[in-house]
Structure 1
């Protein structure tokens, strides 16, 4: 029996859920507080179609990313959205990084991700300017414009008669015996099912709906530079470091984009607003709530050195360039120009642990996506299928 599905959030995950539900014959309403689609995490990331070497085998991230790598490419091809198969190098630049690189090799094998183990000379056959003692070559990684994917998903929903409401922030949510009522400043929407895909505000929306989520979103700003045009030839595809296994961030890396530019970044510094794209973007109420949250305080106390290093790199173009020069020697601060920053919605539990998997919680007639950072864009079509199943919409 067709249902009315109300989706809060017009990023790529919310729009993918809307497309999937409308394709199954359900009535769909998408409420987005901004004036356009994919304005935050979706529209401000590196545009990478991830392959899945990083994620714990058996986790939702591992399962949905690996499947999403295939389904995103197929969707883009079917819909005429350009994408490129670039491949990626994950490089160990020192001997002490080899055990972590071996763990990535093990996870790649367990997750069904095609890979090759390379020595330094073999790595340079892919990226002639890279520095490494060893590397993993992940051939199935690609790049795409996720904003274009989101716009096409919105068009498909509209073609099936779905309601797509921008400038429509949910201000109250009330459960009913058989559904939900969502109100904006000007309208009221009655539905059978609520799906919360609000990203940076997903925990707030969950609390608005009467839930007590098991984690809180803490915003981490990722700052980017671009290589100046005359240095773009130093990077053919994607060059990543071996990441810190204790953190969910992949480290500052180099990414050739769809337009031919090369992005460098991101770092990871605590933002002072959920949409804090610059240091001067401060919302005192949000910052106070996030920075005094017991989970954040416990996490921060365990990572003081890392946090200080990230702040220093944020304020110093020279230190940012030094991180990049570990991957491609010779890069200097004169080779970098500022680019648009993003903010990652990272869920942290009260005990200080960073949620390292997608986190989805349910209530009667409600599904809440409470942790969906990278690789959520890659996996968005698969996340949508998973959510539709949880919401009994199939």
Structure 2
């Protein structure tokens, strides 16, 4: 048989894409191939759980629009399927005059993106969050928290209910595009599909290369190390607490995040990882390491951000240094409050020129569409990303 669609990748973007394809083409035959034994085990299941409002993104950009649409779509999906979410809101805190200027610029950007943010001074910040100190803050009432892994599992259920065929434990090792279809192989098994979509996350460059595409980027894994506060500190904040981001850096910095289960996490930092799917502190994969270490773009990126990279490394090696970052806005935290928590790995696409690619990167051929980079907040934006991909796939393939 020749399937109408084959989607490789069982994370939230892959299942959102499959769900949207089946909604756009009722009755179509669809195959999902996922190398793990259940959905959402990598970036989907190792993120902060925040439904972002789109404060940081350039006005009019695709990223800003998808995040804004995703904010509403994620909440609606949770309501429709009785999944947990909470509109706890977010405070972006400035701790000095330089950071006050940064949040002023953020306020202007958010306003241009159609977001309703509230400026508050240090006194009002202290009233709303007695354990947080700063000279000013921005309040985003729409920012929420959820469990994206649970959303992904529900999407998988919906895809199966609509007739989608899901194969777990299936690692794709062959992709050949023909004139009328794409041949896909995995461990001796083979399938054919009229349209092929790859949503492979940390493996996106490898899937694209396997399919014969020109891969002018490389995935570099960055570990995001978190800590969890002890249960008696679960009420230390009422909102999500984010630092004022430095616009010259690619990451947002360490923040306090309320989780949907009532706990509070601290993090993440951002350090180079030595395994694309390595969640333990000393995880190492030789192939993954050689992939980025032999890539000139990686060294150009590290050279550009060398001072910040050393700063992040200090926080990884020293819990005291990590705590110092938290003390900038939350002085009451103590070293023993930083308890172990799961680590995330961000699949950062890097260009040959050494630029961190922050926007969506999609490569298309007649029969294939590869999502090579779906940057944060991809989990928030998954449903509109899936709809966009489904539209790009066009009419039901002939």
| Cα offsets for 1:61-83 (capped at 9, x unmatched) | 10100111001101110111111
Match of 1:50 among 40, 52, 58: 52
Q: What is the RMSD of the two structures over their aligned residues, measured on CA atoms?
A: 1.3
Cα shift at 1:139: 0.7
Superposition TM-score, scaled by structure 2 size: 0.96
Contact 1:322 1:332 in 2 (8 A): no
Query: 116-125 vs 136-145, which deviates more?
Result: 116-125
SS where residue 344 of structure 1 aligns?
strand
Q: Distance in 2 between matches of 1:141 and 1:3?
A: 39
Q: Distance in 2 between matches of 1:393 and 1:248?
A: 38
Match of 2:379 among 360, 377, 380: 377
Cα shift at 1:3: 6.4
Paired position in structure 2 for 1:183: 185
| Cα offsets for 1:79-113 (capped at 9, x unmatched) | 11111001000011111112221221111111111
SS where residue 378 of structure 1 aligns?
coil
Q: Distance in 2 between matches of 1:113 and 1:318?
A: 37
Q: Distance in 1 between matches of 2:210 and 2:297?
A: 21
Give every structure 1 segment of 4 or more consecutive aligned residues whose post-TM-superposition deviation is greater than 4 Å.
none
Cα shift at 1:248: 2.8
Paired position in structure 1 for 2:337: 335
Paired position in structure 2 for 1:198: 200
Q: Distance in 1 between matches of 2:83 and 2:94?
A: 34
| Cα offsets for 1:140-179 (capped at 9, x unmatched) | 0000000110011000010011111110010010001022
SS where residue 143 of structure 1 aligns?
strand
Paired position in structure 1 for 2:317: 315
Superposed counterparts of 1:79-228, under 5 Å:
79-228=81-230
Cα shift at 1:124: 2.3
Cα shift at 1:214: 3.2
Cα shift at 1:306: 0.8
Contact 1:318 1:332 in 2 (8 A): no
Q: Number of matched residues? A: 393
Cα shift at 1:286: 1.5
Query: 103-112 vs 34-43, which deviates more?
Result: 103-112
Q: Distance in 1 between matches of 2:395 and 2:206?
A: 25
Q: Distance in 2 between matches of 1:114 and 1:66?
A: 12
Match of 1:262 among 261, 264, 286: 264
Contact 1:21 1:393 in 2 (8 A): no
Match of 2:284 among 275, 282, 285: 282
Cα shift at 1:390: 1.2
Query: 26-35 vs 261-270, which deviates more?
Result: 26-35
Paired position in structure 1 for 2:246: 244
Cα shift at 1:278: 2.5
Q: Distance in 2 between matches of 1:345 and 1:198?
A: 10
SS where residue 93 of structure 2 aligns?
strand
SS where residue 140 of structure 1 aligns?
coil
SS where residue 343 of structure 2 aligns?
strand
| Cα offsets for 1:338-383 (capped at 9, x unmatched) | 1000100111111111111122221221111111131000000000
SS where residue 235 of structure 2 aligns?
helix
Q: Distance in 1 between matches of 2:292 and 2:246?
A: 24
Cα shift at 1:324: 1.1
Cα shift at 1:325: 1.4
Superposition TM-score, scaled by structure 1 size: 0.97
Q: Distance in 2 between matches of 1:144 and 1:334?
A: 27
SS where residue 323 of structure 1 aligns?
helix
Contact 2:3 2:31 in 1 (8 A): no
Contact 1:272 1:279 in 2 (8 A): no
Cα shift at 1:22: 1.4
SS where residue 156 of structure 1 aligns?
helix
Q: Distance in 2 between matches of 1:85 and 1:21?
A: 29
Q: Distance in 2 between matches of 1:137 and 1:30?
A: 40
Paired position in structure 2 for 1:22: 22
Structure 1 gap ranges (5+): none
